[in-house]
């Protein structure tokens, strides 16, 4: 299994989300958020633009399909490409560990750390 990173816009990209009039700047990737009793992983972490990060509670998580328009694309170079690949590889290992924990019934429903 390989996580798809080809569609990821680089850090610094500015986008307009569906149903929004305010621009958002991408500041992170693959953000895990706990919603009720399950963990959801989002493609992007963003902040309002031009305001930037004012308070971490104001950050925005969203997925590729939530983007209506790409306003400007951030810088892409070899370092950025290598970083995204390493991030995808690290998340793949984490995902495999999570699946193993779920499938291992010998832990009586307790999370294995």
Q: Interior CA angle at 51 toward 45 and 52, to 5°?
A: 35
The answer, as to whether pTM is greater than 0.75, is no
Per-residue pLDDT of the chain (113 residues; tens, 9 = 90+): 345 666 789 999 999 999 999 999 999 988 888 878 888 888 999 999 999 998 888 899 999 999 999 999 999 899 988 887 887 787 676 655 554 443 333 334 433 32
**CA–CA distances in Å: residue 33 to residues 38, 43, 44, 104, 112:** 8, 11, 11, 23, 19
- To which H or E segment does residue 110 belong? none
Ranges of each domain in the chain: 14-105
């Amino acid at each position: 299994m390989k996580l798809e990173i080809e569609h990821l816009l680089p850090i610094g990209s500015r986008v307009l989300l569906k149903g929004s009039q305010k621009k958002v700047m991408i500041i992170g990737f693959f953000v895990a958020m706990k919603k009720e009793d399950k963990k959801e992983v989002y493609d992007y972490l963003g902040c309002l633009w031009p305001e930037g990060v004012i308070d971490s509670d104001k950050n925005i998580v969203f997925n590729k399909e939530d983007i209506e328009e790409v306003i400007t694309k951030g810088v892409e170079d070899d370092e950025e490409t290598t970083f995204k690949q390493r991030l995808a590889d690290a998340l793949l290992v984490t995902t495999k560990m999570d699946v193993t924990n779920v499938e291992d019934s010998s832990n009586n429903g307790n999370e294995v750390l």
